[in-house]
Amino acid sequence: MEKTTWKDLIESAAQGEPVVACTLSEEEMNREFDRGYGLPQGTPFTAWTKTRVLFPVCYDGAEWVGSAPRNPSDEVTEHQGSW
């Protein structure tokens, strides 16, 4: 079992940028769940930093945070959920 919280995963994915808005409540952000294989357990969300939009990604039950630029850019977004 690999326990984590969305708070930890979002902070890591934000790479030091503060989260300016998030659809998760404080309780949902801090709720531990098993991010390993099986059924998704994390609450769906969208979060924003000044430069990124963050969202949950799942493949075969494993969960992590994906992101895309908040504004148009030349950055290519790789396939999500197919690692």
**% of the chain exceeding 90 in pLDDT:** 72
Q: Give percent helix, percent strand, percent coil of the chain, each to the nearest 5.
A: 15, 30, 55
d(Cα 55, Cα 22) in Å, to the nearest integer?
10
For 40-57, the pLDDT digits (tens) are 889 999 999 999 999 999
Task: Identify the helix (H) or strand (E) that includes residue 11.
Answer: helix 6-14
pLDDT at 82 over 80: no
47-48: strand order across its sheet? 21-22, 47-48, 52-59, 62-69
* AA identity, residue 3: K
Closest among 11, 5, 4 to 52, alpha carbons compared: 11
